[in-house]
C-alpha cells in the first residue's frame, strides 16, 4: 500500500503513460491520412503526436529525479517541442511547390478524431499541470495547444470544401508551427527558473 505522499506521483505516472499511448496510437492514423490526402496541417499535427509521445515517455523517466536534473530535462523537452515546427516548415515548402488542396472530408474527420484524443489527454493532465514543474507543464501545454490546433484543422476542412483552395490547410499548418514554438518557449523559461532555484 503506497504512502499518502506517493499517491499523486503514482496517479501522475499512470496519466502520463496513458497519454503517451494515446499519442502514439493516433500518430499512426493521422500520419497515414496526411500522406494519403496531402495535408500540411495533418502532417504537422501527426508529427506533433509523435513528439508528444517522446515528451511524455521522457517525463515518465525523469519524475523521480532531482530538481536540477528535471530542469535539464525540461530544457531538452523545449528543444524537442521545436521538432514539429521544423517538420512543418518542410511540409509547407513542399506544398507551395505542389499547391493541391487536401480532400476535405478525411481532413475534417481526422481533425475531429485528433481533437477527441487531445482533449482526453488534456483532461488527464490538467490537475497535474503544476506538479513537478516544467516537465508536466510541457505535457499539459502540448495537449492543450493540440486541442486548439485540431479545432483549426476542422475549420480548415470546412473552408477547403467551400473554397477548393490549398490555403486553409497551409494557414493552419503554419499556425500549428507557431503554437509549438510558443510552447517550447514557455517550457524553456520554466526549466530555466527551476535550474536557477536548484543552483541556489
pLDDT value of position 28: 95
DSSP 31: H
- pLDDT single digits (tens) 2-23: 444 455 578 888 999 999 999 9
pLDDT value of position 4: 45
pLDDT value of position 2: 42
* Residue reference for cell 477527441: 116
Give this prediction's pTM: 0.78
Long-range contacts: 71-74, Cβ < 8 Å, 24+? 71/133, 71/134, 71/191, 71/192, 71/194, 71/195, 71/198, 72/191, 72/195, 73/135, 73/191, 74/133, 74/134, 74/135, 74/138, 74/187, 74/188, 74/190, 74/191, 74/194
pLDDT value of position 5: 43
Please report the domains of the chain, with CATH numbers, ordered by start residue. Answer: 4-199 (1.20.1510)
For CA atoms 120, 59, 44, 152, the dihedral sign is positive
pLDDT value of position 8: 58
Ranges of residues in the chain with a pLDDT under 50 are 1-5
Amino acid at each position: 500500500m503506497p504512502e499518502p505522499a506517493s499517491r499523486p506521483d503514482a496517479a501522475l505516472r499512470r496519466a502520463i503513460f496513458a497519454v503517451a499511448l494515446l499519442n502514439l496510437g493516433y500518430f499512426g492514423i493521422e500520419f497515414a491520412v496526411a500522406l494519403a490526402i496531402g495535408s500540411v496541417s495533418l502532417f504537422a499535427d501527426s508529427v506533433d503526436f509523435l513528439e508528444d509521445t517522446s515528451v511524455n515517455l521522457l517525463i515518465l523517466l525523469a519524475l523521480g529525479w532531482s530538481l536540477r536534473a528535471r530542469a535539464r530535462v525540461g530544457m531538452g523537452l523545449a528543444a524537442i517541442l521545436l521538432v514539429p515546427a521544423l517538420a512543418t516548415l518542410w511540409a509547407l515548402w513542399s506544398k507551395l511547390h505542389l499547391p493541391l488542396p487536401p480532400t476535405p472530408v478525411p481532413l475534417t474527420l481526422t481533425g475531429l478524431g485528433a481533437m477527441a484524443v487531445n482533449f482526453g489527454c488534456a483532461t488527464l493532465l490538467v490537475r497535474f499541470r503544476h506538479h513537478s514543474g516544467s516537465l508536466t507543464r510541457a505535457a499539459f501545454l502540448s495537449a492543450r495547444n493540440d486541442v486548439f490546433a485540431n479545432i483549426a484543422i476542422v475549420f480548415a476542412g470546412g473552408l477547403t470544401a467551400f473554397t477548393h483552395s490549398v490555403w486553409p490547410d497551409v494557414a493552419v499548418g503554419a499556425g500549428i508551427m507557431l503554437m509549438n514554438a510558443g510552447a517550447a518557449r514557455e517550457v524553456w523559461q520554466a526549466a530555466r527558473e527551476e535550474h536557477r532555484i536548484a543552483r541556489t
